[in-house]
Structures are given as C-alpha cells and as structure tokens.
Amino acid sequence: MARRRKVPATNNTVTTPIAPVSSQTLPPKPRGENLGISAGSFASIEVLDACVDLGVKWVRVSHESGWPGTVLNLATTVTEAHARGLKVLQAVQTAGKDYSDPAKNTALAQFAKNCVETALVDAIEVGNEWQHKPFWLAPPVTTMPPLAQAQLSIAVAKAVRGCVRSVPVITNGMSPEADPLNPWTWWPQFLSADLTGNQAAKWDGIGLHPYCYPELATTNPAQWNPLKQVPTILADSKVRGVVAPVWLTEMGAPGFATNAPVVRGIALTEARQAECYRAYFEVMRSQEATGIRYPLAAFATMFDGQSATTSVEQGLGLRRADRSKKEAWNVVRAFALEPLPA
C-alpha cells in the first residue's frame, strides 16, 4: 500500500495585535489631585480623613524648627497621610519667627533636610509670608528686607537639594497683605536681591497666598487681588531666568452662620464664603485657558477655628466647629471632581 504524504500541520489561528494603551484613552484625573487643605501647624487624623472625604490629595502643615520632637511628629503625620493616599507639603519656619540669629538660620536649613530625609515629606515650602511683618521678625520689622529673605531661602533650598533632588522646593507663600507692598511688587525685589542665587536654586514653584475676601476675585482690582497678579509674577520671573509655576499654598474665605463680622461693608456669611470660592475658581479656570497651571491650591481651613490668628479667621473652615459641612464645602467638592485641564 502506498504511503500517504504527510501534509504539514498549519495554524489557522489569527492573532490580533493588541494596541498599546494611549494616555489619551485614559480618563482624565480629577482636580482633587492638585488640591489640598492648609491645616495650620498640624494636621490631625480627623483632618486627614476629612481631606479624603472632600476629594483632595494634599495637606499643608508647618511643624516649626525648635519645637521638641518636631521632626518625629511630622513623620507621624506623613505616615498617616500617605496611608490615606495624601501628600504632605511642609512649610518650614523657625519657632518664634525671628530670623535675625545666624545660628537659628543654619538650624532651619538642617531642619528642612530632616523634613525630607527623616519625615519624608512630599514638598517643601521655604518660609511662610515672609514679606508680612508678623512672620518675619528680624530687624528692622518695619521694612521688607528682600536680600535677607532671599539669602535664607536660597540657603535652605540648597540644603534640601543636597540630599533629595526630586522633592519639589518652593518659595515662601507670599502674603496678600504685603504691607506696604503687594506680591507682584515685592516678588521682583526678592528675585533681584540675589538673582544668581535664585537662578541656582532652581525653584520648583513660587508660593502665593491669594486671599481676596470679603471682595470677589472676579471683580477686585489686581492691586488687591493676588490671584490676578499671577500672570505678572510669572512674567517677572521668566525675564529674570526663573521659570516655575505658582503654587497657591494657602487661600480661602471665612463664613459665619450667625453674627457674621462685617468687613468693608460686606457681611462674612456662609453664603458669601461660597461666593468667594466660586470667584476664585472662575479666575483659575480663565487663567488655565491661557496656559497657566497650578500644581497645588490649598484651602484654609478644614474646620472652623483651625490656624486662626484673628476672630474673622475663626470662620475659615469649610466645615463648622460641630463638623457639619458649609455650602463652601460643596463648592470645593464639586471643583475637586472636575477633570484637570490637559
């Protein structure tokens, strides 16, 4: 019998190539990734849990150099924040706000390094409202010494860069009440006071506290409206060889359910607080349309009474002292759920 010729087996399976997943096919991240709460010196577990509930991913604190156990306490905060998917911005300051002692200034630089290396914070803000007298008590307190502030800021930034380059380092958040200067007039002086040092610092961000209440950010003139000063601040930075985005590390408005204080003829009610927040967000959206991006906007505060230095600031919370939510909380929550601009 003749043998049959074997026919080689064939594989008729058709393989469809798998297209790579494009970032364009992924849903956009929510704004909450770049939003947070400025909690004051400390952030309790309650604040961290409330951040998760609000849908924001950052918390800003300011454990101060010279306080007992401050680095370890900060490390505990960072550990608890990271466990909840939150990032921590630490604003480094010297206890007592006196920057006239060279030894304390050297200690501040080491403290900033410890915040990064030991406490593992996610970003460093070098100082807090240093062009505002209550937060910079080095003589003379009646003037704004840009050179002294620049030199200390640069020294702290250099210390942090020397240990961990990947951690963002930003300048102090400029106060909206720059007495007698506004942020956009003080900022060029800060840069130019030590231009070479500021360029070498390679700042990852420019800190700003664009409080505008009781007026609205949409209608208040730029002279008294730090949020509207941002394009000028960025332009003045670029022309001096410093290219960095603005971080809004502290902003907000107070709101009271009863006995609302009246400032410049405007009652600081909870309704007005919500209106202030809507105005902030409207200005931010309009600036984003021109290409401006904010890596962080941190709102002060989560609960009434937190980090308050005046009776008006007692009402800064998005939630009341009894922990119930104000209208402003809903406004921020809705903003946090919006997609981040591309």
| Residue 297 reports pLDDT greater than 90 | yes
Strand ranges in 78-213 using DSSP code E only, listed in sequence order: 87-92, 123-128, 169-173, 206-208
CATH of the domain at 304: 3.20.20.80
Boundaries of domain holding 107: 29-337
Q: What's the pLDDT score for residue 208?
A: 98
Res 211 pLDDT > 80: yes
Give the model confidence (pLDDT) of 5-37 as tens digits: 444 444 555 455 555 555 557 888 999 999 999
Alpha-carbon distance of 87 to 57, in angstroms, equals 6
Cα separation values, 113 from 226, 244, 259, Å? 30, 22, 45
232-250 average pLDDT score? 98
Count up the domains in the chain and report the number. 1
Helices 102-117 & 146-161 angle (0-180, nearest 10): 40
Over residues 107-165, the pLDDT tens digits come to 999 999 999 999 999 999 999 999 988 899 988 777 779 999 999 999 999 999 888 77
pLDDT at 5: 45
The residues, any chain, with a CB within 8 Å of residue 253's CB and separated by 6 or more, are 211, 212, 213, 214, 268, 272, 273, 276, 277, 316, 328
Residue 84 falls within a domain, yes or no?
A: yes
Asked if residue 18 is part of any domain, the answer here is: no
Residue 14 lies in a domain: no
Residue 1 lies in a domain: no
What is the per-residue pLDDT for 79?
Answer: 98
Is 3 domain-assigned?
Answer: no
Query: Does residue 288 belong to any structural domain of this protein?
Result: yes
User: Does residue 156 belong to any structural domain of this protein?
Assistant: yes
To the nearest whole percent, how much of the chain has pLDDT over 70? 93
Q: What is the pLDDT of residues 310-338, one digit of tens each?
A: 889 999 999 999 999 999 999 999 999 99
Each residue's pLDDT tens digit, 48-94: 999 999 999 999 999 999 999 999 999 999 999 999 999 999 999 99
d(CA 300, CA 325): 14
Asked, for residue 7, whether it belongs to a domain, the answer is no
According to the model, what pLDDT value does residue 18 have? Answer: 54
Indicate the range of 90-99, 156-165, 273-282 predicted with least confidence: 156-165
